[in-house]
Amino acid sequence: MRQGVVPPPSAPLVLRGRELGRDGHAVRPVVMAVLNRTTDSFYAPARLPDDAAALAAAERAYADGAEILDVGGVRAGTGAPVDEAEEIRRVVPFVAAVRAAVPDLLVSVDTWRAGVARAAIDAGADLVNDTWAGHDPRLVEVAGAAGVGVVCSHTGGALPRTDPYRVEYPAAAEPQVSRVPDGSGAGEGGLLADVVETLRRSAERAVACGVPRASVLVDPTHDFGKNTWHSLELLRRTGTLAGLGFPLLMALSRKDFVGETLDLPPQERLEGTLAATAVAAWLGARVFRAHDVRATRRVLDLVAAVRDEAPPAAALRGLG
């Protein structure tokens, strides 16, 4: 790889002693497939409360190139209350079913509750995706005690299942030019500094709690505690986030910042998502949480070839 031409990648991801994305000398970004055991997630095709349909979707995701399945039992945004017992009922038996049916597919549980994380780990989960940035401080302790991976996120202090409203990040010490037209105080430096410091602090705590360093992912968490200008800024700053020393996760799939940028509803955001995915992959992100596994896998494979980290699947032109 030509130094100075190709942005450096984030750290490799290792779960249960297995480095994801590596096949011999080839290294490709990792796809984390989204599967929601809910009836109200913002993207309807990801709603899979039926056991048989959900298991078929898990098998299809693996066949399409996902290495991780991220199972959620509660809609991220506002909606009907879901208590811990109901979240466990939706998620934990399904984690066990996936582990039995697709043993090579690693399983992540998307939860902010330590009790749910503990039950899911007991059922075979390999990773805890703490989307709400340590709201329950015991969660990372549970992951560390079990030696599984954890995702450290950034929400700007937002509480679980709340939507952002006029979020502000104080300007950095050195003056920065804000791209937010309403003057809301979202200076680039302030946002980036807050995200970097939060992720670094959370990741180091996870390591101190016993999570293997290579199993700690950092996620700037687009849309959560952020407006569209914030999320676009974090996408263009992917290289800085990749330099934190931990595997970098990007959860971009069909999110509102993509929709608002293009003025499109969730069902029409695939092209925008894939464009954002290509940008982040080129800039060094390691793992991508995706609704559209096959399309995402193909984009990432192409970017890996351009980065000279993996060969083309069939390079025959001009050689016959």
Q: Cβ(237)–Cβ(3) under 8 Å?
A: no
Residue 167: what pLDDT?
Answer: 87
Residue 280: what pLDDT?
Answer: 98
Rounded to two decimals, what is the model's pTM? 0.92
Residue 171: what pLDDT?
Answer: 72
pLDDT 10s per residue in the chain (320 long)? 455 689 999 999 999 999 999 999 999 999 999 999 999 999 999 999 999 999 999 999 999 999 999 999 999 988 889 999 999 999 999 999 999 999 999 999 999 999 999 999 999 999 999 999 989 999 999 999 999 999 999 999 898 988 888 888 887 544 343 344 333 334 456 999 999 999 999 999 999 999 999 999 999 999 999 999 999 999 999 999 999 999 999 999 999 999 999 999 999 999 999 999 999 999 999 999 999 999 999 999 999 999 999 999 998 999 97
What does each C-alpha distance from 109 to 18, 300, 304 come to in angstroms? 18, 23, 27
Helices (H), 111-169: 114-122, 138-146
Please report the domains of the chain, with CATH numbers, ordered by start residue. 14-306 (3.20.20.20)
What does each C-alpha distance from 132 to 34, 143, 152, 283, 287 come to in angstroms? 17, 15, 9, 25, 18
Of the candidates 128, 130, 70, 125, the residue with the CA atom closest to the CA atom of residue 99: 125
**Strand-strand pairing, 30-36 and 68-72:** parallel
What does each C-alpha distance from 194 to 154, 186, 233 come to in angstroms? 9, 11, 13
Residue 4: what pLDDT?
Answer: 64
